Amino acid sequence: MKTRALCPASLGALALATLAGSVSAQITIDGRIQPSEVSLYQQLWVQNQPTGFGDSAPFVASSGNPEAVNKGIEFRIPVSSIGLGASTTEAVKLMCWITESNDNNISNQVMGAALPPNSGPLGAAATLNFGTIPGNQFLSFTPILVSSAPAFDGDLDGGVGGLYGTRHWLQTNYTSLGNNTQNTSGGGNGSELDALYAVRFDNGTPALASDDVLYIFIAGNLSPGPKCNLVFDTVPGGQNTILATQPDQSFGYYRRITGLTYDAGFTADHHFNFNKSGGTMFLDYVAMPDGTAASAGNYVGGIDSGLQAAIPGMGTGGTNVPAVALRYDNSNLVGVEGSPAGLVSPTRVTAFGSELNNLSAYVDTTTNKLHLFLGANLENNYNSLLVFIDAIGNDGQNQIRGVADQPPNPRFDAGDGLNRMGNGGNNPNNPSPGPGLKFDEGFTADYLIRVGGDSSQVCGNAAVLRSNGRLDSGGFQIEFSSFFCTPRALPANPIEVMNFPGTTMECQPFGNAEDPPETNNAPRSATNDNNLLSPTACDTVNVGQFLNPVFTPGRLQLALDNSNGAGVTGSQALPAAAGAVNTGVEIVVDLAELGYDNSGTIKVAGFVNGQGYDFMSNQVIGGLPGAPAANLGEPALVDFSAIAGNQFVTISVTGGLPRCGSIDFNGDTLFPDDSDLVEFLTVLAGGECSPGNTCDSIDFNRDGLFPDDNDLVDFLTVLAGGTPTACIP
């Protein structure tokens, strides 16, 4: 802070206007903190963790849409056959790249850190050192554990956000190997790597991890000629530089790439390469021990794009070959293009990753609303921000209830996500449902808000969490679950606000316990305002009819601005950068809707979660110890009370006082000084702010009454280092 001496000023001759108004400080709900709103909000927390859910940084990329690709090459590999252990939380470290048709040169299709903008082919494999390229050209991640195996067919089960869940890598470069234009499963006249997904299948034996199977899905295409390489680093040892001691597999291919050097920290143990000839994909394998001639290596087999049940050598194991299998569908047309393109940046609508940078809050006692702002972005794949609020001292849940409790929590979103994270889970594919998400001591969640969407719409959900579970009648939920979506307009158009208008309220059908009453109103208010058990309101003849709604919009309002391209990255979390993010998720909710009784503090917890409420990121309000911290995984197994620090923040309502204005009234960054006082008096008397300066509001104490002498008194009090009675400095 720069300082100058403060000169006294005479106030006796100043005639003060006494106009009284009722205008309170206004916040525009648009997913960002505007400059005029900075003095209202108080920043309570800044992220200390790089994001484990992808950095939404600007990048130079091709046209096309790699994140939408759902066709490609699918691998099925017993975990034990490549050296992975029994732990279901063990990370998988792998690398994938495509060589050009002559085998000697590596293309620009390489997984890992993004190559420099519009990078072309990387050159001769024998002399290439990946360690000279910025970032790590390999991936390390923990696959989601599933108990239903993917349909093994070269298709991404359920599409983006389906069974394969979280994407572990996305292409940001054009392909130097040509753009595919053949929409057939066995065709392909271009080669590209668009994205990578992985799951670990428990093989029907959740108590036995040693027989688990790793499924790898590589979204993209492979044309005849180029070879795609999938390499694992799973055990100690291996080769950081490919040695000239490999078996002569794939017609001398491994001899031609001898000398290739990986990034530090990656030593290859198991190397698969596959290439296409005609309509058949051929697969070879080599093990890579330290220094000595490889004792394992062989041709695995070949397969057409059709689904043959049994191909000799493919999926059966064999001499020196893991029991690996491959299927492919080469019909993708929507991935990256075959020529360079320009800068791609996050927009208000589009984000390429998910992160949580900071949290600010403001309690407006004039309107009795809580304003929350979270500097963030949410990838357009329905990754969600979940915000839990503790506003009631004698209600709420320290550990989330689930289907193992009766009654459980209200059904929430299409996948019953709240109970999914609770005691017992609600997912038959979850082999270890866990006791339910547990918060830190002193935090009992009594309200939940969720925000997420894709490039076409943004959605919000809300529910009340009660100590004894949902309001229930004979196993039927008799309180509302709230849900509201709004289409995403083009970036140039105004922000889309989810204002939960209260125009639809569905009655309890009493016949299907899985069909809760839903509303686009705020949940507590909707439940309090309607009698779901009324025979006239819920005519059993007209199951699912709508009640007469209570038209009280705006009790809950949400907005999402995804345009942040700064903040934390995938490798570092700088406090200044994270704290400066001013776009993200904005939440405005009535204090009465929260159940707040105008006493005590309000606490907020939350995190970024996967699409299916089944995988918690490391982007957690309050932060995690150690950096970088891994993603936390299965929410029903997370116990924040066992993690150092508080994974929540506390909002001190302090009698509902607003934040004072800035003593740097004229915005020249010099304060406290006499020019701020002179400027304040000038504007208070009806004058203009000096040219080049940006003056703050003369309603300094934010009481809605201006211009008045109380604003001047409070300004002088703060200027002198004191604490006024009408606002918080």
User: In the predicted model, is pLDDT for residue 9 greater than 50?
Assistant: no
User: In the predicted model, is pLDDT for residue 635 greater than 80?
Assistant: yes
- Determine contact, residues 49/618, Cβ cutoff 8 Å: yes
Buried-exposed string 124-137: b where 16+ CB fall within 10 A, e elsewhere: ebbebebeebeebb
Residue 547 carries which DSSP code?
P
Q: How many CB atoms sit inside 10 A of residue 554's CB?
A: 17
Contacts of residue 553, defined as CB under 8 A and 6 or more positions apart, other chains included, come to 499, 500, 501, 502, 503
User: In the predicted model, is pLDDT for residue 246 greater than 80?
Assistant: no
Length of the chain: 729
- What would the two tokens of residue 424 be? 């017992």
Which pLDDT score is estimated for 585? 98
User: In the predicted model, is pLDDT for residue 277 greater than 70?
Assistant: yes
CA 95 remoteness from chain centre: 24
Per-residue confidence band for 313, with pLDDT thresholds at 50, 70 and 90: very low
Buried-exposed string 570-599: b where 16+ CB fall within 10 A, e elsewhere: beebbeebbbebbbbbbbbbbbbbbbbeee
- Determine contact, residues 661/700, Cβ cutoff 8 Å: yes
Three-state DSSP class for 682?
helix
Task: Look at 59-68, 267-276, 333-342 and tell me which has the smallest mean pLDDT.
Answer: 59-68
- Determine contact, residues 320/287, Cβ cutoff 8 Å: yes
Please give the Cα distance from 84 to 215 (Å, whole number).
13
Q: Which of 555, 582, 556 is nearest to 567 (CA)?
A: 582
The more confident residue out of 587 and 244 is 587
Three-state DSSP class for 32?
strand
Which pLDDT score is estimated for 509? 66
User: In the predicted model, is pLDDT for residue 559 greater than 60?
Assistant: yes
- Determine contact, residues 281/302, Cβ cutoff 8 Å: yes
Which pLDDT score is estimated for 535? 46
The more confident residue out of 305 and 17 is 305
- What would the two tokens of residue 159 be? 């599409």
Segment of 31-40, 227-236, 665-674 carrying the highest mean pLDDT: 227-236
| Mean pLDDT of the 565-590 span | 94
User: In the predicted model, is pLDDT for residue 587 greater than 90?
Assistant: yes
- What would the two tokens of residue 727 be? 């606002």
- What would the two tokens of residue 354 be? 């998910």
Which pLDDT score is estimated for 708? 82
Three-state DSSP class for 323?
coil
The more confident residue out of 676 and 313 is 676
Buried-exposed string 340-366: b where 16+ CB fall within 10 A, e elsewhere: bbeeeebbbbbbbbbbbbbbbbbbbee
Per-residue confidence band for 8, with pLDDT thresholds at 50, 70 and 90: very low
Q: What is the mean pLDDT of the chain?
A: 84
Q: How many CB atoms sit inside 10 A of residue 95's CB?
A: 22
Percent of the chain whose predicted confidence (pLDDT) is above 70 = 87
Per residue in 637-680, pLDDT tens? 999 999 999 999 999 876 555 667 778 888 777 777 888 899 99
| Mean pLDDT of the 675-691 span | 89
In the block, tokens 């490391």 appear at 618
- Nearest 5°: the CA angle 709, 712, 716 is 145
Which pLDDT score is estimated for 13? 25
Three-state DSSP class for 641?
helix
Three-state DSSP class for 592?
helix
Three-state DSSP class for 472?
strand
Three-state DSSP class for 559?
strand
Residue 655 — φ and ψ, nearest 5°?
Answer: 70, 10
| Mean pLDDT of the 584-596 span | 95
Per residue in 384-409, pLDDT tens? 999 999 999 889 999 999 988 999 99
Per residue in 520-542, pLDDT tens? 999 998 888 766 655 444 544 44
- What would the two tokens of residue 537 be? 């309101």
Which pLDDT score is estimated for 657? 58
- Determine contact, residues 300/270, Cβ cutoff 8 Å: no
User: In the predicted model, is pLDDT for residue 206 greater than 90?
Assistant: no
Segment of 12-16, 264-268, 422-426 carrying the highest mean pLDDT: 264-268
Per-residue confidence band for 424, with pLDDT thresholds at 50, 70 and 90: confident
Which pLDDT score is estimated for 606? 98
Per residue in 39-91, pLDDT tens? 889 999 999 999 999 899 887 666 688 988 999 999 999 999 898 988 888 88
Q: How far is CA 345 from CA 61, 209, 351, 559, in A?
A: 10, 42, 8, 20
Residue 254 carries which DSSP code?
H
- Determine contact, residues 384/608, Cβ cutoff 8 Å: yes
Please give the Cα distance from 428 to 115 (Å, whole number).
41
- Concatenating the DSSP letter of every residue in 554-602 gives TSEEEEE------S--SS---HHHHHT--BEEEEEEEHHHHT--S-S-E
| Mean pLDDT of the 148-159 span | 89
Please give the Cα distance from 577 to 547 (Å, whole number).
48
User: In the predicted model, is pLDDT for residue 620 greater than 70?
Assistant: yes
In the block, tokens 């509001």 appear at 697
Contacts of residue 50, defined as CB under 8 A and 6 or more positions apart, other chains included, come to 568, 569, 570, 571, 572, 573, 618, 627, 628
- Nearest 5°: the CA angle 207, 160, 89 is 30
How many helices (DSSP H) and strands (DSSP E) are in the chain? 7, 32
Beta strands at 384-390 and 472-473: parallel, antiparallel or unpaired: unpaired
Which pLDDT score is estimated for 448? 98
- Determine contact, residues 109/191, Cβ cutoff 8 Å: yes
Please give the Cα distance from 397 to 437 (Å, whole number).
10
Q: Which of 418, 362, 582, 593 is nearest to 499 (CA)?
A: 593
Which pLDDT score is estimated for 541? 44
Please give the Cα distance from 77 to 74 (Å, whole number).
10
| Mean pLDDT of the 218-235 span | 94
The more confident residue out of 597 and 583 is 583
Cis peptide preceding 625, ω within 30 of 0:
no
Per-residue confidence band for 298, with pLDDT thresholds at 50, 70 and 90: confident
| Mean pLDDT of the 514-524 span | 86
Which pLDDT score is estimated for 271? 92
| Mean pLDDT of the 543-558 span | 71
- What would the two tokens of residue 523 be? 């949940």
The more confident residue out of 490 and 254 is 254
Which pLDDT score is estimated for 390? 96
Q: Which of 132, 192, 141 is nearest to 169 (CA)?
A: 141
Please give the Cα distance from 326 to 280 (Å, whole number).
11
Per-residue confidence band for 233, with pLDDT thresholds at 50, 70 and 90: very high
Which pLDDT score is estimated for 490? 63
- What would the two tokens of residue 469 be? 């579970």
- What would the two tokens of residue 533 be? 């058990």
Segment of 82-96, 435-449, 487-501, 651-665 carrying the highest mean pLDDT: 435-449
| Mean pLDDT of the 177-206 span | 91
Per-residue confidence band for 312, with pLDDT thresholds at 50, 70 and 90: very low
User: Which residues share a beta bridge with 325?
Assistant: 76
Which pLDDT score is estimated for 534? 52
User: In the predicted model, is pLDDT for residue 452 greater than 50?
Assistant: yes
Q: Which of 2, 29, 28, 23 is nearest to 486 (CA)?
A: 29
User: In the predicted model, is pLDDT for residue 129 greater than 70?
Assistant: yes
Percent of the chain whose predicted confidence (pLDDT) is above 90 = 43
Task: Look at 19-23, 179-183, 397-401 and tell me which has the smallest mean pLDDT.
Answer: 19-23
